[in-house]
Structure formats: C-alpha cells, structure tokens
Structure 1
Amino acid sequence: MLETFRNAFKIKDIRNRIFYTLVMLVVIRLGSQLPLPGVNGEVLANWFASQGTDALNFFSAITGGSLENMSVFALNITPYITSSIIIQLLTIAIPKLEEMQKDGEDGRKKMTKITRYVTIALAVIQSVAMAIGFGRSGYLEKFDALNVIMMVATLTAGSAVLMWIGERITEKGVGNGISIVLTINILSRIPEDLMTLYTKFIANAANVGNAIIAAVVIIAVILVTIVLVVFLQDGQRRIPVQYSKKIQGRKQVGGQSSYIPLKVNTAGVIPIIFAQSIMQMPVLVATMLGKGNGNGIGSKILHGLSQSYWCNPKQPIYSLGLLLYILLVIAFAYFYTSITFNPLEIANNMKRQGGFIPGIRPGKPTSDYLTKILNYIIFIGAVGLMIVAVIPIFFNGVFSASVSFGGTSIIIIVGVIIETLKQIESQMLVRYYKGFLND
C-alpha cells in the first residue's frame, strides 16, 4: 500500500488527482459541521443522545455524524445509494432500463441521469418528512411554512452537492467517488468510537492487568476482522476458458487461454445493507414516533429487530432476531448476485467468441456449470459476510461494547481502500505505457 502511494506521488497527473480528492474530502467534513438553519441543534442533539438505537447509530455512522449534528449534509449520500439500488432493481422489471444498461457508454450516461433525478426526488421526500416530524416534535426554532421550505431546500441541496462531489472525485480524482464519500464519513466516527472503547474497558479497568487484557482483545478483534474482510474481498474462483483457433485471412488467431474471475463476495456489502435497512426501518419509525419503549408484544418485537439486544446472555430470546438477520443476508446475497451476474449471457458471449470451459460443452451446459459454481461461491461469501458482521454484534451483546462502526463499516472501508488502490495502480500503468510509447 505504502509503495503504491510513493510511486503514485512521483507521477504529476496522479499526484494532482490525489490532492483534488483530499480537497473534496475536506469540503465534505466542513459541510458536515455547518448547522442547518432553523433547527434547535442543542435540543435535537440531546434527543439523539437519549435514543441510542441501532437504526440511528447506523445512519449516523454512514452520514459521518451529519445526521446527529443536523448539518446541511444531514441526508448525506443516502438518497443516492437508495436511488442506485432502486434503479438496479428496476432493470429487472422494466425492459427499457435493461436495454439502457446494455447500451454501452450512452446507456450508462442515461442511467446516471435517471439515478440523479430519483436521488433528488428521494432527498425531497426524506427532507419533507424530517422537517414536518421535527417541527411537530418542537425541534425547529419556528414551525411554519417558510422554515420548513428552507429546511427542505437546504437538505436537498446538501445531498445534491455531495452527489456532485462524488461524481467529480470519480472524474477528476482517484475514482470510486461515492464510495470514498461514504468511507470518509465512516472513518470520521471511528476515533470517537475507539475513545469510547478505551474509556469503558481500559481507563476504567479494575487494575493494570485487566486494562492490558482489554486492550489486547480490542486490537485482536479489530485486526482479525480486517484480515477476514481482506480475504473476503480478494477471494475469487477462477474458471479456466480456452479459445479455439480461427483462420482470418492469412493469419491464425485465437487459441489463447483465459479465465472468468468469480468473486467469493460477489454481492459485496449490499446484502448486509439491505438486511439492516429492512430490520431497522420499523425501529427507526417507532423511535421517531416515540414508541417501542414499553413492555408490550410490539416493543419486544422491536427489541428482537434491534442488534443491541442480540447475543445478550440475560435476554437470549431476542437473539432470534439474529437468525432472521442471517437468513435475510443469505437471501439478499443470492438475489443481488442474480440481477448483477447472468451466467447465460456470459455463456452465449463465450460461444460467439469461440471460447469454452475445458470439459464443458458451450451454450446451456456452460451456463448450468457457471450457475452451479456460483451458488456454492455465493453461500461461502454470505457465510463470510455473516462472520464479519456478527463479531462486533457478539462483543456488543456480551460485553456491551456499543460503537457506531461494526462489521459493515469495516467491509465498506477495506473494500473501498482496496478498489481505490487498484484504480491508482491501473492509472500508473497507463501512464507508464504512454511514457514508453512517447519515447
């Protein structure tokens, strides 16, 4: 990693891209601290502190504390992420969108434009709901039409600006713009969470021995989780492909061998985000409405959906929610992979190009073979995701080590860092080739 950065800074164009990205990240963090006009920030901060639910912690983490601070970037890029997921899902149901997706660069530009429009629409809907909800709860300085309109316009503009910054980082920076915006938000919360762990388990330990043991355990858990994520992100099954020889004119072409890389974690972090969103949405709505704190059956169901009650030895019944969480992650891993990876299309493309998998006939047998291999890989990837996600949940339940970052955050951070480094390396390779050809 350090070697890649050292080499990158030797090339002027890549060095400028890195500096541009850093400037944009500074702008994001500054915007995350600018207070939203018309909001009683102190009262709202006290309300967030009194809630402490997993749903609010999750959204606070991915917005870098902007939601908790109610800054102009409070919505952050969550509308864009939701919009991207919606558009990807709609490509299954709407043939026109599926055609756009396959229509090369022009189709990609049209899909991007549609995603932007949906992002703005979602930002408006979310900001209206927040403005009215907070206004009715007395968290606005003045609950009138002018203040609501100002809040909606500011939140929507903040989300649009972050979307624009993400696209500029992709175009003029190091790439992976939206992912980098999400990563810097999560990273901004980690120092505070580490300080919470230090205060609870090390500073307040009964003696020096216990403090040392606690420090070693915390560091070991973090390192093991990171190592597991790295293996999960880089792991792949390579399917060998052989291309038959052809005569074109007087030349013989083809005959080379290649492979199809099937990633172990094919769906990335999407299954966990989907599962968390579905399970935490009822908890978030109940929290906003001031419900779910009683002893009724409804409150117990909400507790079962909340991660903070899982793996608690004193209340094992709530860990049934963890089983539901595991099933949802596995189901979404298969579902998301099915809409992003089409074995039949790959088999047909291979057949047209004269490629085949050794020992497997081209066409449908190849498609069936890829589907069979993919099903095994998806399950392994989903199990790996669950191990990474459950480790922080286990320590939270057994030791009450409550922090905003967890397995999901670490998967996002490590995945984005690995992909960004690969993009920088590919840009360096292109520059080296250009320099060689110009010489």
Structure 2
Amino acid sequence: MNADASLRRRILVTLGVIVLFRLGQSLPTPHLTARAPEDDHPLRWILDLATGGGLATLPVFAFGVLPSLVALPVLRTLIVLIPRLAALRTEGEAGARALLRYQRRLTVVLGLPGAIAVVTFRGLEVLHSVVAVACLTAGAALVLRLTEVITDRGFGDGVRILLLAQVLAVLPAEFLRLYGTKGWAAVVVMAVVALSIAVLTVVLAQGQRRVPVQYAKRMIGVRAYGGAPTYIPLRFPQANSPAVLAAALLSLPSLWPGVGWLGDEGNPWRIAVYFVLVCAFAFIRAALSQDMDKVAGELVRVGGFVPGIRPGPWTAEYLDYVNRRVIAFGALCSGVVALIPAIGLALLDVNPRLPFAGVALLVVLVFLVSVTLDTARQFDALRLRKEYGPFLR
C-alpha cells in the first residue's frame, strides 16, 4: 500500500469510528428512559462534557470514553501498589500486552458498577435490569475497542480523539444558550477568549530553548564518528492541574467569614490571587518534573558537553539556571492563559451553571488545542514519511 493510500485509509478509519461512536451515543438502551438533570443543575455541564451528553439520554454508549479515560490512571496507581504489575513493566513487549489486557478488564469493571447504579435508580424489573446493565457494560467495552482502532489504524490517541468528539458535540449547545442570554457580545468575547487561549497554548507547546551540545569524536578503525553539533531542547511542561488546584484552594476560604469575596469569580482581588497561585503552582510543578543532574550525567555518559561549560556538576548548574528561566516564563504565560477565561466570564457577568466555570472552560480549550496539535504532528510525520520514504529504502 503506497503512502497516499495509507494516509487516506487512516483518515477514513478515524472519521468512520467517530461516526460509529456518535451513533452509539444516539442509540437508546432497552428499557431505559432518560431523566436528565434540570438545565440549570450544577452538575449538568460537567456530566455532558465527560459523557458527551450520554447520561442525559442514556444511550448504549451512555458513559462515553469515561471508563477508558479513568482506567489508565487507576492502572498506573495499581502498578505502584502491586509489585507483580510493576514487574510487568520491565518485561518488554510481553509485559506491555499483559498490562493492556488488565486495562481492558479494568475498563469493563469500571463500566459495570456505573451501569448498575444507573439501572438501580430506575426501578426496573429484574429481567429488564439485567438487559440494561448488559447493554451499558457492553457499550463501555465496545467504546474501548473503538479507541484502540483509532490508536492502531487512525490518527492520534483514540481516547483523546473520541473525548474531543464528545466535547465538540456538547459545546455548540452551550454557546447557543450563552448567545440566547447575552446576545452577540457573548459570541465576540468567547471568540476572543478561545482564539487567545489557542494561540498562547500553541506558543507554549511549540516553544523551546535550545542549549547547544557538542559530542567528542571517536575513532573506530580508520573512520571518525561523532563530533556533530546538536542541542538540548528545554521546554515548559504544560498541564491544567495548576489552574484546577488554584481554583480548588480558592474555594475553601470562601466558606470562612470575612473573606467571602474569594467566592466571587468576578472579583478583581480574587482574580489577582488566582493568577499568582497558578503561576506559583505551574513553576513548582515544572521545576519538580525536570532533573538537570540526570541530563548532565547522560551527556557525560555519551561523551557530550555544552561548549564553554565544564562537564558534570558545572553543566548541571548551567542547565538548571537556563531551565529556571524557561519555566519562569512558562509559568507566567500559564497564569495569563488561566486569566483569559476568568476575565472573559467576568466581563459577560455570567452566572455559571458549573462552579469554576473559568477553569472548566480553560481545561476544555487547552485540551482541544493539545489534541489538535498531537494529531497534526502525527499527520505531518506520515506526510514526511511519504515524501522521503523512497530515499530511505
């Protein structure tokens, strides 16, 4: 199969799986009738985002990719706690296949209690309950299989692609609701918010500080190898956790007397405190996730060095100095990105259905941009393979 046919097949597979997934989220479950929360219920929007509106209509794919999304972090926690699972990570391909089987089983196990909980509150007959639980659990397992098909034969990570499809299916209704209450001003403000977050997220994701590295030449026989200059890319690791953690901390003092302004998301002082907390948490998280001593030790092991800097601890100190400046700038940008939806919602004077609406909007928009970037990178890699494949044979 040539490269053009491979690209076309991957695109068609991805689109076909998304269509099947959305059809499954429209197919009603036997013997179940939906009793969705009220439109202004505080949990309605977050449930719609997590399940693509599935818990509002109770289709066969009522849980969406939620069981598959939760199964991976649960499995990672179990790997830390259970030595047998930790040993599988060191067994290469065989261990990876075994962990994949455990992840599939865990997805079904997570879908089963959710199906039982949904059916229990419906008061169905025993036979009808069994049928409904079986359909919902089978739907969770089938969604897992659809994510694997996209990962193996389509573009991007299957769970993230289908989660993106869920979010895009819910957002238009939310924007229409906002337009119905605030008019065109809401459309303009939300467009500016979305565009600003997208641009800054792309800049942070693509930006890097290149530290030059030179490798010593090695003589093997009569030929010299190595010596080519290269670089170490220092990036700012992006994450939504600082904004979520900052919003969670700000919610606690709002219950105390005298600091009720922290509970008002449009209060300027609250926004300022929120910005400082996001910057601090982003800086701490990035600093803890990167070990420059390890990078410097790896350079010594392979015979590399930074021009003008002595190898070993001196290189680690230099890299740490440069990296702190990178993550300081990235943390400041993260704070600015976190401020954009908060200021936008404050300008609209929106009474959100969901607490921390600014954080929720930020997480959704950053997720959309990150999934788009990952998919574009994979598409670009396949395109380059098509162009330069004949020269590599």
Tell me if both proteins adopt one fold, taking TM over 0.5 as the criterion: yes
| CA gap 1:34/1:411 in 2 versus in 1, 3 angstroms | same
- Give distance in 1, aligned partners of 2:225 and 2:139: 54
Q: Which runs of 5+ in 1 are unaligned?
A: 1-8, 203-210, 284-296
Are 1:25 and 2:18 counterparts? yes
Deviation at residue 90 of structure 1 after TM alignment? 5.6
Deviation at residue 431 of structure 1 after TM alignment? 2.0
The answer as to whether partners of 2:282 and 2:334 remain within 8 angstroms in 1 is no
Are 1:435 and 2:353 counterparts? no
Q: Which residue of 1 aligns with 2:368?
A: 413
> What is the TM-score when the length of structure 1 is the normalising length?
0.72
Are 1:357 and 2:338 counterparts? no
Corresponding residue SS for 1:49? coil
| CA gap 1:185/1:428 in 2 versus in 1, 3 angstroms | same
Q: Which residue of 2 aligns with 1:175?
A: 156
The answer as to whether partners of 1:228 and 1:388 remain within 8 angstroms in 2 is yes
1:169-215 CA-partner distances (Å, limit 9, x unpaired): 1111123222111111111122222222322222xxxxxxxx5x554
The answer as to whether partners of 1:267 and 1:337 remain within 8 angstroms in 2 is no
The answer as to whether partners of 2:147 and 2:159 remain within 8 angstroms in 1 is yes
Q: Which residue of 1 aligns with 2:224?
A: 252
Q: How does 1:160-309 map to 2 (within 5 A)?
A: 160-202=141-183, 211=184, 215-264=187-236, 266-269=237-240, 300=255
The answer as to whether partners of 1:311 and 1:398 remain within 8 angstroms in 2 is no
Q: Which residue of 2 aligns with 1:289?
A: none
The answer as to whether partners of 2:266 and 2:342 remain within 8 angstroms in 1 is no
Instruction: Give the counterpart of 1:63 among 32, 51, 64.
Output: 51
Deviates more, 1:362-371 or 1:238-247: 362-371
Instruction: Read off the aligned partner of 1:239 and give its amino acid letter.
Output: V
- Give distance in 2, aligned partners of 1:117 and 1:329: 39
The answer as to whether partners of 1:61 and 1:185 remain within 8 angstroms in 2 is yes
| CA gap 1:334/1:125 in 2 versus in 1, 3 angstroms | farther
RMSD between aligned residues: 4.0
Instruction: Read off the aligned partner of 1:84 and give its amino acid letter.
Output: L
Instruction: Give the counterpart of 1:12 among 5, 29, 54.
Output: 5
Aligned residue pairs, count: 383
- Give distance in 2, aligned partners of 1:221 and 1:118: 38
- Give distance in 1, aligned partners of 2:384 and 2:348: 48
- Give distance in 2, aligned partners of 1:148 and 1:432: 55
- Give distance in 1, aligned partners of 2:26 and 2:14: 19
Q: Which runs of 5+ in 2 are unaligned?
A: none
User: What percentage of aligned pairs have identical amino acids?
Assistant: 29
The answer as to whether partners of 1:48 and 1:68 remain within 8 angstroms in 2 is no
Deviates more, 1:344-353 or 1:240-249: 344-353
- Give distance in 2, aligned partners of 1:104 and 1:372: 36
Corresponding residue SS for 2:39? helix
Deviation at residue 383 of structure 1 after TM alignment? 4.3
- Give distance in 2, aligned partners of 1:328 and 1:97: 35
- Give distance in 2, aligned partners of 1:400 and 1:351: 57
Deviation at residue 427 of structure 1 after TM alignment? 0.8
Q: Which residue of 2 aligns with 1:208?
A: none
- Give distance in 2, aligned partners of 1:73 and 1:337: 40
Q: Which residue of 2 aligns with 1:49?
A: 39
Deviation at residue 49 of structure 1 after TM alignment? 2.1
Corresponding residue SS for 2:60? coil
Instruction: Read off the aligned partner of 2:13 and give its amino acid letter.
Output: Y
Deviation at residue 268 of structure 1 after TM alignment? 3.5
| CA gap 1:324/1:165 in 2 versus in 1, 3 angstroms | same
Instruction: Read off the aligned partner of 1:74 and give its amino acid letter.
Output: A
Instruction: Give the counterpart of 1:35 among 28, 37, 41.
Output: 28
The answer as to whether partners of 1:238 and 1:261 remain within 8 angstroms in 2 is yes
